[in-house]
């Protein structure tokens, strides 16, 4: 049974002491880079004061990127970070807005639970990538809404639906955001993948993305039976903290919903490589972001999970991150994994 009382984590920003209204903190040498970045990401600000604040944060994050990547070039890190669309946000702001994995207070709302039993006498492959087998839809974008849990849940259900039917639907995250409150989810304020699977089982299905498009805000439930595109009978949890069991599930079942600690500025600005963060936490109460494990492998001796995120394809490795595997359940990748039963 999963026991977790979780609000969104807030990480202390490295530049907390900076005065964000101080125009003297801005370096003119980055003027063109700043303008190019704003243009690339469609950024504009309501006041000059707000733009100065965002520019100072952006330059602080740029300094973090330069320092980290210098160390990476010297072999001290196995991954790089880079300026992306989140570059003008404090880490605390980012975590509060984007990381929305929470556990319903009443666990009895989650009823249709089974436990995954790893198959016996099965030799697991050295690497798996379900993207190449048709199990995974293109990377989506949750926008400024803490609905990561919904994207993780649809990703896992899409994969299991393909496994059963040979057809890959794109399912509606907005359906889950708007309609699964009775199971304990809170829309853009957070939720849990298991509660999403429970909703689909109780509701008898979930609509397609095309029929119930994503708008990144809470709305009144508008599910239509006629647009139902997938269903499940419940879900299975995987033994908590056991990366071997998670590997077996990914290899034999398909994409698996997982929750992680994504509260670091390094995760916010991740660009490429195998993400090894020794400061990541892995306890149930430390997890703040729902994502999808779609495979695993090894790169230059470093084992990794292939993880699909929901921050658009412009983030990370075309919307994905390779997270450290077999490093004591780093970032909690194997703490609360599950998948729907289709």
Assign domain 95-341 to a CATH class.
alpha beta
Contact 148, 193 (CB under 8 A): no
Which region among 13-17, 160-164, 182-186 has the lowest average model confidence (pLDDT)? 13-17
Catalytic residue among 61, 175, 203, 309: 309
Residues 88-98 have a mean pLDDT of: 93
The whole-number pLDDT of residue 20 equals 59
DSSP-assigned beta bridge partners for residue 255: none
Residue 148 falls in the annotated catalytic set: yes
Of the pLDDT bands very low, low, confident and very high (cuts 50, 70, 90), residue 14 is very low
Is residue 141's pLDDT more than 60?
yes
The whole-number pLDDT of residue 121 equals 85
Query: What's the chain's average pLDDT?
Result: 91
pTM of the prediction?
0.91
The whole-number pLDDT of residue 1 equals 34
Q: Phi/psi at 82 (nearest 5 deg)?
A: -155, 165
Extended beta strands in 145-280, E state: 206-207, 228-230, 235-237, 256-260, 270-275
Share of the chain above pLDDT 90, in %: 83
Can you tell me the distance from the alpha carbon of 342 to that of 228, in angstroms, rounded to the nearest whole number?
14
Catalytic residue among 203, 289, 329, 331: 289
The whole-number pLDDT of residue 113 equals 75
Residue 84 falls in the annotated catalytic set: no
**DSSP secondary structure letters along 269-325:** TEEEEEE--TT---SGGG--EEEEEEEEEEETTEEEEEEE-SB-TTSTBTTEEEEE-
Residue 309 falls in the annotated catalytic set: yes
The whole-number pLDDT of residue 119 equals 87
Catalytic residue among 148, 188, 280, 331: 148
């Amino acid at each position: 049974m999963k026991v977790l009382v979780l609000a969104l984590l807030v990480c202390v920003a490295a530049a907390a002491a900076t005065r964000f209204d101080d125009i003297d903190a801005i370096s003119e040498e980055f003027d063109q880079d700043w303008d190019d970045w704003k243009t690339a990401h469609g950024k504009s600000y309501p006041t000059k004061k707000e733009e100065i604040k965002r520019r100072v944060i952006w330059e602080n994050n740029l300094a973090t990127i330069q320092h980290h990547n210098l160390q990476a070039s010297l072999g001290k890190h196995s991954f790089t970070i880079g300026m992306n669309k989140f570059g003008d946000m404090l880490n605390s702001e980012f975590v509060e807005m984007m990381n929305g994995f929470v556990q319903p207070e009443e666990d009895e709302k989650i009823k249709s639970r089974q436990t995954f039993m790893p198959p016996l006498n099965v030799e697991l492959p050295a690497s798996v990538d379900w993207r190449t087998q048709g199990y995974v839809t293109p990377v989506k974008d949750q926008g400024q809404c803490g609905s990561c849990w919904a994207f993780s849940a649809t990703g896992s259900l899409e994969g299991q639906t393909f496994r059963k039917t040979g057809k890959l639907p794109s399912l509606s995250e907005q359906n889950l955001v708007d309609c699964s409150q009775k199971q304990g989810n809170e829309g853009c304020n957070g939720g849990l993948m298991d509660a999403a699977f429970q909703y689909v089982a109780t509701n008898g299905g979930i609509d397609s993305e095309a029929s119930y498009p994503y708008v990144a805000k809470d709305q009144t439930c508008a599910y239509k039976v006629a647009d139902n595109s997938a269903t499940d009978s419940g879900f299975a949890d995987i033994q908590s903290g056991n990366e071997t069991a998670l590997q077996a599930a990914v290899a034999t079942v398909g994409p698996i919903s997982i929750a992680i600690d994504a509260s670091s500025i390094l995760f916010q600005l991740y660009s490429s490589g195998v993400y090894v963060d020794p400061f990541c936490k892995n306890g149930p109460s430390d997890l703040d972001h729902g994502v999808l494990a779609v495979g695993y492998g090894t790169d230059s001796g470093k084992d990794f999970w292939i993880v699909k995120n929901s921050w658009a394809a412009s983030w990370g490795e075309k919307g994905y991150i390779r997270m450290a595997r077999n490093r004591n359940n780093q970032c909690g990748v194997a703490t609360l994994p599950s998948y729907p039963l289709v």
